Structure 1
Amino acid sequence: MNKRLLAIIAAIGATTIYGINHTVAKGIMPHYVQPYGFIILRVLGAAILFWLISPLGPKEKIDPKDYLRMIVCAFLGMGLNMLVFFKGLSLSTPINSAVLITTTPIIVLVLSAVILKEKISSRKILGIGIGLFGALGLILYGSEVRQDAPNIPMGNFLIFLNSIFYGSYLVVVKALITKYHPFTFMKWLFSLGVLICLPFGLEEFMQIEWSSLPFEAYRGIAFVILGTTFCTYLFNIFALTQLKASTLSAFVYVQPLVGIGYAIFTGQDNLTLIKIVAACFVLVGVYLASRKPNRFYQKLK
């Protein structure tokens, strides 16, 4: 099997894991683990794993002048975005989450225009408008009566905030990604993430009743730590060694399809007219906005 085919399989694997994660994580929260306590498990578990594999990479020290940028990246990429995403998912539904998360490329495009003064074509502006219209539709009109989703509009809004924070992280992190080896970068980023998230999630983490957790809860926690947090990053790194950035970015369209399909297959969610219409608007908007990624977004990817 050639490396390019393996890279495609890795990219599909990462996207599939992300899509399944919406349902798996939702199944654990909030009955077994509260969202902020879950974040502690996620960042702590990933930090330990990256420290364990870090000897396989080069020995590097973080340049003191990069400390501030590293801290900002940790807040945006390992703190705020995870906190609002898991809290939002606990309040909303897997399908809403899978749809809204794909607005990240639109957010990156907007931020690169505002911060880096990059020009946006009329087609991209149309795509941004259509995608945000779909996201706004889910936030304002996606409410349902569900016992496991107590505040869907607020949850949808928090998931959308996750896209904003993660998009901001992609803008800020560019210089560090090109300067340091991934193992070095991620072990320190996740370590800082533990410190940032600890004040928010320590109480909920301590409330976890490990002895009473069923096997499926342990399995779900392991999936989020090993799969969603650790493996997906490594899969995407390998994929980037063989595929163009624009090719890899196209896999963003697979995530909502997997997320929606898996949620329906497992009986954890169902389609409504609002979800279908909003998903169409978001996907069309993302396609128009990122069909030909701008140079900055290609470098980020």
Structure 2
Amino acid sequence: MQNSWRVHLALLAVALIYAANYSLAKDVMPRYAGPFGLIVLRVLPAALIFGLLARLSGGARIEGRADHIRSILCGISGIGLNQLLFFGGLNLTTPINASLTQTVSPIVVLLASALLLGERITRVRASGIAVAGLGAALLISGRGSGGAPLPPTATLGNVLVLLNAVFFGIYLVLVTPLMRKYPPLTVLARIFLVGAVVVLPFGWQQVQLIDYAHLPTGIWVAIVYMVIPLTIFTYLLNNWALKYAAPALLGVYIYLQPVLAALIAVGTGKDAFTWGRALQASLIFLGVWLVSQKPRPAVPLEPVQD
């Protein structure tokens, strides 16, 4: 693949940007902004920027009823529900728990690919789904984590982040045909417009409650980070990569996020990594690795020679 190294470099950059967000967002929520208000501050400017860039680039418009419906579904799953569930969940749980829970996304990509694209699920992949499911269940329930007790809201937060991973996995499968047919800015402008319509009713009240005049400089920096690198850069890089790579590869790079997020969270004192979490992470990683194994092509039987 001609763009192989560029794709991997882009996805590595995305993993780093996402990993830092787990700790940065905890600095902002809930003291300075509610999770849904933060989403509005993130999605509305991004929708305006992508819309302006799409117009300036003179890109093609989305055409046909099927593509219009697909783009709306991408906006709902990949922007609206994805953001509401992620920030709502992260506000209730810890950075490491949230990042580990998101690693089930490749499994969702596989299941969505099987349902929407007809991809075959082998026994190895089925066993991977079971193993990763066990690790995710232990993580979400908070059992066996060890170390300091989790906040009482952690279970609900983990469930919301899990649902976020589900919708993100569905989005990756849904958006791939659009990214290979239209310019990335055309697709991003549409899905962020739809996403803004979805999140605005949920976050409008919270965004008005923010005391903008007294926000510390560090919080402003974190908010700008969520709008520019976390939203603009990551979606541009992810959707560019989808032109040259399968959705499963983007899912695989989610493995890096909890490792990087844990290093950042522990290094900044936002969270602690325990042996219990290491076991849960190992189960999830093993399961996702099994899921990522491609099925071998069937070998035709040779006729018996007499």
Q: TM-score range by the shorter chain?
A: 0.7 to 0.9
- 5+ residue gaps, structure 1, are 295-301
1:253 corresponds in structure 2 to 255
- Residue 189 to residue 16, structure 1, CA distance change in 2 (3 Å): same
Q: Report the Cα distance in structure 1 between the residues aligned to 2:125 and 2:103, rounded to whole angstroms.
A: 15
How far does residue 119 in structure 1 lie from its aligned partner after superposition? Answer: 1.7
- Residue 50 to residue 209, structure 1, CA distance change in 2 (3 Å): same
2:187 corresponds in structure 1 to 185
How far does residue 63 in structure 1 lie from its aligned partner after superposition? Answer: 1.8
What do residues 46-86 of structure 1 show as CA deviations (whole Å, max 9, x unaligned)?
11221232245343222251332222221111111110110
1:85 corresponds in structure 2 to 86
Code of the residue aligned with 2:109 in structure 1: it is: V
What do residues 218-277 of structure 1 show as CA deviations (whole Å, max 9, x unaligned)?
111111111111111223355567778776654332211101111101110001233211
**Corresponding residue to 1:168 among 166, 170, 181:** 170
1:25 corresponds in structure 2 to 25
Segment drifting more, 247-256 vs 267-276: 247-256
2:210 corresponds in structure 1 to 208
How far does residue 150 in structure 1 lie from its aligned partner after superposition? Answer: 4.7
Q: Report the Cα distance in structure 2 between the residues aligned to 1:74 and 1:242, rounded to whole angstroms.
A: 21
| Local SS of the residue matching 2:119 | coil
Code of the residue aligned with 1:198 in structure 2: it is: L
Q: Report the Cα distance in structure 2 between the residues aligned to 1:61 and 1:86, rounded to whole angstroms.
A: 31
Code of the residue aligned with 2:194 in structure 1: it is: L
- Residue 262 to residue 78, structure 1, CA distance change in 2 (3 Å): same
CA contact (8 A) 2:106 2:248 kept: no
How far does residue 44 in structure 1 lie from its aligned partner after superposition? Answer: 0.9
What do residues 136-192 of structure 1 show as CA deviations (whole Å, max 9, x unaligned)?
11111258646xx45000000100010111122223333322222110110111111
| Local SS of the residue matching 1:179 | coil
Q: Report the Cα distance in structure 2 between the residues aligned to 1:80 and 1:288, rounded to whole angstroms.
A: 28
1:155 corresponds in structure 2 to 157
1:217 corresponds in structure 2 to 219
| Local SS of the residue matching 2:278 | helix
2:54 matched to 1:40?
no
What do residues 198-223 of structure 1 show as CA deviations (whole Å, max 9, x unaligned)?
11110001111101111111111111
User: Which runs of structure 2 are paired with 1:51-90 in the superposition (5 Å)?
Assistant: 51-55=51-55, 57-65=57-65, 66-90=67-91
Code of the residue aligned with 1:94 in structure 2: it is: P
Q: Report the Cα distance in structure 1 between the residues aligned to 2:100 and 2:226, rounded to whole angstroms.
A: 19
1:264 corresponds in structure 2 to 266
1:297 corresponds in structure 2 to none
CA contact (8 A) 1:138 1:274 kept: no
Segment drifting more, 166-175 vs 269-278: 166-175
2:237 corresponds in structure 1 to 235
Give me the TM-score of the superposition, normalised by structure 1.
0.88
Q: Which has the larger radius of gyration?
A: 2
- Residue 107 to residue 293, structure 1, CA distance change in 2 (3 Å): farther
Give me the TM-score of the superposition, normalised by structure 2.
0.86
Code of the residue aligned with 1:93 in structure 2: it is: T
- Residue 99 to residue 56, structure 1, CA distance change in 2 (3 Å): same
Q: Report the Cα distance in structure 2 between the residues aligned to 1:94 and 1:114, rounded to whole angstroms.
A: 31
- Residue 237 to residue 167, structure 1, CA distance change in 2 (3 Å): closer
Aligned residues: 291
Q: Report the Cα distance in structure 1 between the residues aligned to 2:250 and 2:102, rounded to whole angstroms.
A: 16
- Residue 242 to residue 73, structure 1, CA distance change in 2 (3 Å): closer
CA contact (8 A) 1:125 1:289 kept: yes
CA contact (8 A) 1:57 1:181 kept: no
1:226 corresponds in structure 2 to 228
- Residue 249 to residue 198, structure 1, CA distance change in 2 (3 Å): closer
- Residue 160 to residue 243, structure 1, CA distance change in 2 (3 Å): closer
CA contact (8 A) 1:46 1:190 kept: yes
User: Share of identical aligned residues, percent?
Assistant: 37
